[in-house]
Structure 1
Amino acid sequence: MPSPQPGSPSLSTLREAVARRFDRYLAELEELVNIDCGSYTPEGVNAVATHVEAELSRLGADVQRIAHEPADGEAQLGDLVVGRLGGTGPRLLLIGHMDTVFGLGTAAERPFRRNGDRATGPGTSDMKGGLLAGLHAIGALRDTGGTPAITFVANPDEEIGSPSSGHHIRALAAEHDAALVLECARANGDIVSARKGVADLVIEFHGRAAHAGVEPEKGRNAILAAARAVEQLHALNGKWEGVTVNAGVIAGGTRPNVIAAECRLEVDLRGATAQTFDQARSAVTAIVASPAVRGVIADLREAAMHRPMEASQATKRLARLAESIAAELGFELHDAATGGASDANTTSAAGLPTLDGLGPVGGDDHSEDEWLDLSSVVPRTTLLAALISRIALAL
């Protein structure tokens, strides 16, 4: 078991500091959960940003708030918050997102509730619980004399692929030694050392309209071309280990008596390694280049993309360090791979040792049953604080 770095606060001291913050954590969790902050609700996201900005300032950070400036036709998104804390040791990048997948009115329909050690409400686990854990871990370290060098990023758009914040995160990755991502731990308590890459693909088929009863031979049916492409796309499942392809949305045509001139597919492509991800992506490109209906052409674009997060040797060392700290705290910890993407994919793809799932334990994300285990808040936030304090041991 690695020894603590000289000058690191003891685990008992850190745990006591975190425990003193629990009531405040709980009050802040209720406040944030009761804010509607879906990705396309910038007013709500910015209300969360204001809270994060104030907390980072209270911790002594130099805070930058970057407004989103949409291009023509783009939706307005919330602000990006970046807080820089000078200190000693490796330069750490902590990342949490402020947006949820839920629409306006969700918080009023099912506000924050506590039933014993279980909290429910939109975003409790994904990821207001983890966002606050990051802030309170830093606070506990400051309370006990720790001065780690941290850049804290709270982004407004992770749930839609981080289109406005991704380039900021990539730029920051080049300036840091490791990244810790504050998504909550899996429902079984696992932290995350690997994530599949994800490409959200849009395929548009362009045919030719014609009267379906009078001159069908003059038509070029875009829906038929899309349907055949769906079969080809789904045949890619199982071709490479860990690769999944799903055509999740299809829309086209105008009337039943008109040969459809247009059809649109939205496709989810995932792969566990960069090699298989790229091979599958190339196979999709080939399918789109040769529609199976004569006279139909097709276009392909990426609506969003995360490269795979593969468990590098440096990431594995971070996971082993986290496991040893958990053992000192009295609980068992394991790392795992998962099929969902996060901003950890971005930092990992940039070459930064990255560990994810470092918030409290939660589950049923993106559903009305979403929950956070409040009994895990103190031990998991202590784990995070200690990992920050000792991280040089794994780098």
Structure 2
Amino acid sequence: MRMPRLFVSLIAVGLMGGAAAQSLSPEEERIVGLVKANSGTALALLEKTVNINSGTMNHKGIREVGKIFGAELDKLGFKTQWIDMPKEMQRAGHLVATREGKQGKRVLLIGHLDTVFEANAPMQKWERQGESASGQGVNDMKGGDVIIIEALRALHAARALDNTTISVIFTGDEESAGDPKEISRRDMVNLAKRSDVALAFEATVLDENGKATGTIGRRSSTSWQLEVKGKQGHSSGIFNASAGFGAVYETARILDTFRQQLQEPNLTFNPGLILGGTEVTYDATAAKGTAFGKSNVIANSATVKGDLRFLTPEQGEQARTRMRSIVAQSLPGTSAQIRFHDGYPPMAPTNGNLKVLEQYSKASADAGLGEIAALPPGLRGAGDVQFVAPYVDSLDGLGATGKGAHAPGEDLDVRSIEQGAIRTAVLLYRLTR
């Protein structure tokens, strides 16, 4: 499948073109000044929340971070509420903040409170060295959450939030979304359906020249499970008509045919776990299993767990159809089935998303922070914005800049908090006029 023409054009030009940068209006200059004046307070807020362990399964920590951000949003005139998830889902819930008006576009801002670190993992506290700071979730994505708060704080101080419709959702399980997704992402989708634009604040990715990018497309995250059966028997009979090829050879055939026939831009399919033998067990909750077999026995079963990522629903459906066809072409004496489980839907690059990026790029350039390029979707994993992208023009990657997300030593370029808040505040001001 070809890459969407829109995205090809973005890659070709590299930077968003558009009109030449213009100076900010006096009101926008005032808003930028308010962001800068509050930079110290912004970093103090970030330090406070980074020092709270809020791994996805640390529900107490997530609620504590949510309480801090909720108090800040209360001060800005938002109506806040904590939305609990059903107990059986084992997720902390989400913070939602809303304000209603009749002026300009209705905007949804998306962040998350949880980090990827385990609830009992050693806590890495905030540590600052010059223009760099480290700590759990400092760029993924408590830095992005603080950018949202600080942009809104500056707009509130300038009385630019009056009569606007802005919604904020900070999810408590972005790093491991609760199942079923229809429930864990229901409130986010409902907010999107009442909005005109969605902005998500996962970390800003820099291009090879060190310039900020924006995300108008993200690939899906779909899982699949392959179950293969063969005839158990003495290994001396393998390949003959009565014994067949066994489950392991059939599994190898299927996976290698995937590799040879399915590769195309923006499509990946990764087998992350394989178990094969005469006795196979798999524990889906623990994501691990066992296999027993002997070298002189033909394996009778195999299990493969993998993921599938694609940029558009059409590309995904074509890939699933071709995978099913390959699985059905069984070697003698074997059979196989493949099942797919949808996770995060794709965020296809659209003209609407491109328009939002153009507006964001212009806001950044007018503020003296440079134009914003489109990031190739293959460079990002899955994110919450993908659940809302089918309903509303969307842009992601408006958050902080740093390195080492999801790993010990995760860090942050401290300057990116102020820069992100300036870009966001100017963009929001223009969207809501």
TM range (shorter): 0.7 to 0.9
For 1:359, what is the secondary structure of its paired residue?
A: coil
* 1:372 lines up with 2:412 in the alignment: yes
Q: Distance in 2 between matches of 1:204 and 1:305?
A: 20
**In the alignment, what sits opposite 1:32?**
49
Deviation at 1:246, TM superposition (A): 1.6
* 1:245 lines up with 2:269 in the alignment: yes
| Mapped contact 1:229–1:288 kept (Cα < 8 A) | yes
* 1:118 lines up with 2:95 in the alignment: no
Deviations 1:156-192 (A, max 9, x none): 2222356353232222211111111111211334232
Deviation at 1:209, TM superposition (A): 7.9
Q: Distance in 1 between matches of 2:81 and 2:234?
A: 59
For 1:201, what is the secondary structure of its paired residue?
A: strand
* 1:264 lines up with 2:283 in the alignment: no
Q: Distance in 1 between matches of 2:62 and 2:331?
A: 44
Cα 1:11–1:220 change in 2 (3 A) is same
For 2:402, what is the secondary structure of its paired residue?
A: strand
Identity between Structure 1 and Structure 2 (%): 26
Amino acid at match of 2:195: H
Q: Distance in 2 between matches of 1:176 and 1:79?
A: 21
TM-score by length of 2: 0.79
**In the alignment, what sits opposite 1:158?**
174
* 1:51 lines up with 2:88 in the alignment: no
Deviations 1:319-367 (A, max 9, x none): 22222222222121222233222222222222x1111111222233222
Q: Return the match for 2:116 from 101, 105, 121.
A: 101
1:200-219 matches, cutoff 5 A: 200-207=222-229, 210=232
Amino acid at match of 1:33: V
1:1-395 matches, cutoff 5 A: 1=19, 10-71=27-88, 75-87=89-101, 88-108=103-123, 110-147=124-161, 148-161=164-177, 163=181, 164-187=183-206, 188-207=210-229, 210=232, 221-238=246-263, 240-252=264-276, 253=280, 254-257=291-294, 260-292=299-331, 294-302=333-341, 304-310=343-349, 312-336=350-374, 337-339=376-378, 340=380, 341-350=382-391, 352-391=392-431
Unmatched runs of 5 consecutive residues or more in structure 1: none
Deviations 1:3-62 (A, max 9, x none): 99x9x8723211221123222221222222223322233333222222232222222222
Deviations 1:256-277 (A, max 9, x none): 3265554332222222334323
Amino acid at match of 1:368: P
| Mapped contact 2:91–2:172 kept (Cα < 8 A) | yes
CA RMSD of aligned residues (A): 3.0
Larger Rg: 2
| Mapped contact 2:114–2:172 kept (Cα < 8 A) | yes
TM-score by length of 1: 0.86
**In the alignment, what sits opposite 2:285?**
none
Q: Distance in 2 between matches of 1:250 and 1:45?
A: 34
Q: Distance in 2 between matches of 1:54 and 1:223?
A: 57
| Mapped contact 1:91–1:177 kept (Cα < 8 A) | yes
